Structure 1
């Protein structure tokens, strides 16, 4: 697949402007971002280094005014100076155990105008601080004039609604996974291990242009599987098994996230009825993906559809979630999540049912929240359970 072009400068500038509005509402003077999803979102620089190693660190600082400041190891500065000529670049010889950029970061914080006396860090739900506890403690002691607050919700409020360019990346990721699944139709699956089948799919996805950071889970068993997040194992498939491949394939830094179910040789009537119920539950969940509804409404639509079919919902904590630069993002399609849906949000719709013996069956699709009505982004699963 042909790589997509970079995001336009206008779109990137718009993201930072939206972030600054959120910061102003939250009375935050600046945010310090260090996670790969947030740094990549606000800069469109997606180098896997330094997040692939634990001996390095990198941060960006966005304040209410002025230019972006970037703090990174010297080995990275050439790339960033070329791509971000307007940013203030600060670097240090790294690795530097005990002070991985903390002195430089603290000095920049102390130079900030203190309008509210608060600096935002990624310390809330579904976020990562990306520094050691000792560095965090030192940074606190070196910046006594500022209070440290969570900015993860601020960033996610900006990231939650996707642009057309972001939607295109998620669609492309889904197309790659959908096409890669065709590898399962070549040859027999009985007697083949989970790991071998997953390898065929993942290898095909890479050939089709997927990024090199992907998530793939595999579950199998007679009459159902017991996990939707387990890594593929050495178990060999047998006649009568139900198996699923659930993948977050990444393309141009954006993930799809959906699964497909298959039976080996044959399927019981109960399994076939469960599959039909899940197809209907997904349709109900997608139909609830409308501006003004809540994530709880999306959950309830799926749960009610399963109940009407006589099935108990699977105990997974939620029936889907947001997605984008991360394979799971807020909100959660759960009974407790009152997040109001907005146009441009993308949700994984993921109902599950309990099967005899404590087994599970899950079905998942991706959908866009739109004022014109919900839109499927993943290539739809077959109406009937595939039997290989």
Structure 2
């Protein structure tokens, strides 16, 4: 059994949620919103701490109304009321879902209609990297019933969630350390002749034994000297001399994700592959240095892109060189041209340069950092510049 790290306490105090709400309401006022209508697990969990495996069932919608003044109101199926009552939320309205003829719609419309109105606008999850977790036809019907405009609240929501609290960072740091230790131990668990699925399974088991709650994301891809993509797999392909094995884990602790990869040399790999890995490692180092308060995400992208281009990159099908991280595997912002998000203290970011150094041979490297007043601080254990070897 792998040793377990000392874990942060699960859950968050009412004071933590009160601070989140106070900051959120300040931001909502800046966006001239009278409230937010939230329907997705991540946004509801951010404000309430409520979690349930029952999210896997799409039958019942769940709602949280966050007013610009006052406390959040949960409008949920009555089956979820006992667990919601264990959170800091006190105002819980329920209906006997599922009830297709009126699945909480009248109840929700009444709650929103009763909110104090100053701007006549409610923000919903309509924009960037957001979804509405209710039937679209019912959402459209809700809009028709309300005396206020339902507008795109996603920019406001991301402004709220993009900067993490100290408690959130502690959760992310913990899962990053768990995965880092499992990565370091992997060469002792995998051999030439194993296949991608076996390598992936052993890493997943080790991460779980070290204290992770789940590993929803764990692609494993191998190829001679590099890989053609980084989001699919594992497959039944056998690991042979000269391969690069790429693994990328999005594991969770108490709802919060890590997201970083590691590359391994299978026996002896080509000098070209080693040079490409070193170039991507150097680009990561430069990206970490560039991720400072006041710089933009495009600044970070430009810094890394120059290094891999100078090293002979012929492309990168990922489309960006890193992103935000938290309650979701990927969150805004993106390190890419045109995303000029100003980096702020408290953001948690992935630094993820990659390069295709020959057709079908790509190497990508990734670390997770939190932004402090001094600059980026690693949450992961830094990978070695030299490829670890599986023999």
The TM-score by the shorter chain falls in which range?
A: over 0.9
2:375 is paired with a residue of what secondary structure?
coil
Residues 300-350 of structure 1 show CA distances to partners (whole Å, capped at 9, x for unaligned) of: 110112233333452321000010111111110001111000011111000
Q: Structure 1 pair 70/276, CA: closer, same or farther in 2 (3 Å)?
A: same
User: Relative to structure 2, which stretch is displaced further, 86-95 or 220-229?
Assistant: 86-95
Does residue 93 of structure 2 align to residue 90 of structure 1? yes
Structure-2 residue corresponding to 1:377: 379
1:216 offset after TM fit, Å? 0.8
1:222 to 221, 224, 228: 224
Structure-1 residue corresponding to 2:70: 66
Unaligned runs of at least 5 residues, structure 1 = none
Structure-2 residue corresponding to 1:44: 49
Structure-2 residue corresponding to 1:117: 120
1:186 offset after TM fit, Å? 2.9
1:382 offset after TM fit, Å? 1.3
Q: Structure 1 pair 98/205, CA: closer, same or farther in 2 (3 Å)?
A: farther
Does residue 137 of structure 2 align to residue 134 of structure 1? yes
Distance 1:258 1:279 in 2: 13
TM-score when scaled to structure 2? 0.94
User: Relative to structure 2, which stretch is displaced further, 276-285 or 202-211?
Assistant: 202-211
Q: 2:187–2:388: 8 Å Cα contact kept in structure 1?
A: no
Structure-2 residue corresponding to 1:9: 14
1:46 offset after TM fit, Å? 2.2
Structure-1 residue corresponding to 2:37: 32
Distance 2:209 2:155 in 1: 36
Distance 1:254 1:82 in 2: 20
2:288 is paired with a residue of what secondary structure?
helix
Alignment: residue pair count: 385
1:18 offset after TM fit, Å? 1.2
Q: 1:351–1:363: 8 Å Cα contact kept in structure 2?
A: yes
1:186 to 169, 185, 188: 188
Q: List structure 1 segments (4+ residues) > 4 angstroms apart after TM superposition.
A: none
Unaligned runs of at least 5 residues, structure 2 = none
TM-score when scaled to structure 1? 0.95
2:369 is paired with a residue of what secondary structure?
strand
Distance 1:369 1:199 in 2: 33
